[in-house]
Chains A and B, each alone.
Chain A
Amino acid sequence: MPLIDLANPSRFLALVGKMLPWLVAATLVALAAGLWQALFVAPDDYQQGATVKIMFVHVPSAWLAMAIWALMSIAALGTLAWRHPLADVAAKAAAPLGAGFTFLCLLTGSLWGRPMWGTYWVWDARLTSVLVMFLMYLGLIALWRTVEDPSRAGRAAAILTLVGAINLPIIKFSVDWWNTLHQPASVVRVGGPAIHPSILVPLLTMALALTLLFATLHLAAMRNEILRRRVRTMQMLAAQGASA
């Protein structure tokens, strides 16, 4: 279906209504499979023991946190350049989810760092740049919440999102550019993954499950946002009618 058809919110709502039950089912199946593999099938690491299981939540959350910002950047282009009516809705609905995954990544990383590194937190380049992304997510949410006019807030947020996208390569390559406490990339790296398949497969399953979870929540949030805007328009029309 071409993107232009989705520009009509009613058609989009109809499509979301049809897709959501399937997405929910797929998410549940993938999540069950992923958790079962992560908790019962995946072996312990030769050095870290069972603590390595934190990775199955930590790494997918980190990937999603960055992917959601990338998605919001594309949506920001949609808002500014093509004036796609749903782009702003997509970005607004994605921001709290992105903030949530970033928080999950920071939290699990912290809990993992304490036993393995010996500290909950250090100010190295990788941790700091992710924290900056978390703060920017919160800033965007604050912006959407304080400004009443949705289209005005949307354009302002789009510009900030694009400026914040500079942070994405910094997060990804921070472990290569500076000698950080955080170890270098294990999966997406030159020379193939450095994770044994018995640990890599559960990791990728969990990544798929959390991505599906994001897709489900995102579509539902977009639907809610569209409905919320309709209610707002109706209220304004009603108020105008009452005063006239």
Chain B
Amino acid sequence: MTRRQRRLLLLGAGLGVLGLAAALVLSALKDSIVFFNSPSDIVEKRVTPGTRIRLGGLVAPGSLERGSELAVRFQVTDGNRAISVAYRGILPDLFREGQGVIAEGALDTAGVFKADNVLAKHDEKYMPREVADALKKQGYWKDDAQKRDAARPPRQVP
């Protein structure tokens, strides 16, 4: 083998191994490395109470109850299943019903998710308030990413 052929062989072998690595990554991504779990995941995988996890989903409309001393309860849903979450503390500005939310904590034995941290997730859309209102009035309020209540105006959180 000449030097040149050997170099080409080496490069080919290197690229082959890289391709294999890429294929492995893609096959694993189907199984999805997650930052958070949806309520369905948690129910299906029978997560044991006490295991620390992140629960992600939409705040179910109409489920928010405020107790005394910043205590709140709400339901997180992904359309199929819902899990109730209990939290005490200040909620982020973007926290509203129908919006994405991620809670960190663990299930208790009664199946209630005790959160010690609640994060709000927002989508990639930005628009002025008038435009959002106009879109809603005309009934063009489409949300491809999340199933949001179509007619509901954005609720102001006190």
A48 touches B93 (CB 8 A): yes
Which chain B residues lie closer than 8 Å to A117 at the CB level?
92, 94, 119-122
Which chain B residues lie closer than 8 Å to A189 at the CB level?
124
B95 touches A118 (CB 8 A): yes
Binding site secondary structure of chain A = loop
Which chain B residues lie closer than 8 Å to A200 at the CB level?
126
Which chain A residues lie closer than 8 Å to B36 at the CB level?
179, 181
A43 touches B130 (CB 8 A): yes
Interface size on A, residues (CB 8 A): 34
* Chain A, 124-158, CB within 8 A of any chain B CB: 124-125
Contacting residue for A178 out of B35, B93, B99, B123, CB 8 A: B35
Contact A118 B32, CB 8 Å, known A181-B119, A199-B128:
no
Asked if B154 lies at the interface with its beta carbon under 8 angstroms from chain A, I say yes
Total A-B pairs in contact (CB under 8 Å)?
101
Asked if B42 lies at the interface with its beta carbon under 8 angstroms from chain A, I say no
Which chain B residues lie closer than 8 Å to A43 at the CB level?
128-130
A195 touches B34 (CB 8 A): no
Which chain A residues lie closer than 8 Å to B154 at the CB level?
46-47
Q: Can you name 10 extra interface pairs (CB under 8 A) apart from A46-B128, A179-B32, A179-B34?
A: A43-B130, A45-B126, A46-B131, A46-B154, A48-B126, A115-B93, A116-B122, A119-B117, A183-B123, A184-B124
Task: Please name 30 pairs of A and B residues whose Cβ atoms are closer than 8 Å in the assembled complex, sorted by A.
Answer: A43-B128, A45-B127, A45-B128, A45-B129, A46-B132, A47-B94, A48-B122, A49-B93, A51-B93, A52-B126, A115-B93, A116-B122, A117-B119, A117-B121, A118-B92, A118-B119, A118-B120, A122-B35, A125-B35, A179-B34, A179-B56, A181-B35, A183-B123, A184-B124, A186-B124, A186-B126, A195-B127, A196-B131, A198-B128, A199-B127
